[in-house]
Amino acid sequence: MEDNTKLHADVLVIGFGKGGKAVAARMGHAGKNVVLVERSDRMYGGTCPNVGCVPTKALVHHAGKRRPGDSAQEWYERSVGQVEALTSLFRAGNYDGLNGMDTVRVVTGHATFIDSHTVEVDSEGSRSTVSGDTVLINTGSEPVIPDVPGLKDSKYLLTSAELLYTTVLPRRLAIIGGGYLGLEFASIYRRFGSEVTLLEGSPRILGREDDDIADAVQTILTEEGIDIVTGARILEVRDNSEDATVLFEVGGDKRNVNVDALLVAAGRRPVTEGLGLEAAGVETTDRGAVMVDKFLRSSQPHIFALGDVNGGPQFTYISLDDGRIVLDQLIGEGRRNTEDRVAVPQTLFITPPLATVGLTESEARRTGRKIKIASQPVAEIVAMPRAYVVEETRGMMKFIVDVDTDEILGAALLSTDAQELINIVALAMRQGVTAAELRDAIYTHPSSTEAFNDVLSTIIRSDQ
Which pLDDT tens digit goes with each residue over 33-59? Answer: 999 999 988 888 888 888 788 888 899
- Whether pLDDT at 464 is above 70: no
Pairing of strands 126-137, 118-123: antiparallel
**Looking at the annotation, which residues are catalytic?**
445
H/E run at residue 228: strand 227-230
Res. 165 pLDDT band, cuts 50 70 90 = confident
Predicted TM-score of the model (pTM): 0.92
What mean pLDDT value characterizes the chain?
94
* Whether residue 462 has pLDDT greater than 60: no
Strands (E), 16-156: 34-38, 104-108, 110-115, 118-123, 126-137, 141-143
Mean pLDDT of 307-320: 94
The predicted pLDDT at position 67 comes to 87
For the segment 179-194, the average pLDDT, to the nearest whole number, is 95
206 CB burial (10 A radius; 0-12, 13-18, 19+)? buried
Q: pLDDT value at position 48?
A: 82
Q: Which residue has the higher pLDDT, 257 or 266?
A: 257
275-298 tens-digit pLDDT: 999 999 999 999 999 999 999 999
Query: 436: number of CA atoms within 13 Å, CB side?
Result: 5
Query: Stretch 181-187: mean pLDDT, rounded?
Result: 95
Q: Indicate whether 159 pLDDT > 80.
A: yes
What pLDDT does residue 46 have?
84
CA 432, CA 407: separation in Å to the nearest integer?
Answer: 7
Residues 6+ positions from 56 with CB-CB distance below 8 Å: 160, 164, 184, 185, 188, 349
- Contact (Cβ atoms closer than 8 angstroms) between residue 151 and residue 234: yes
Largest CA distance in the chain: 70
Find the DSSP H helices in 180-236. 180-192, 211-223
pLDDT at 91 exceeding the cut of 60: yes
* Mean pLDDT calculated for residue range 410-419: 98
Domains, the chain, ordered by start: 5-141+269-340 (3.50.50.60), 157-266 (3.50.50.60), 346-462 (3.30.390.30)
With a CB cutoff of 8 Å and minimum separation 6, the contacts of 70 are none
Q: Report, as an integer, the average pLDDT of 350-360.
A: 97
Write out pLDDT tens, residues 97-126. 999 999 999 999 999 999 999 999 998 878
Across 357-364, average pLDDT: 97
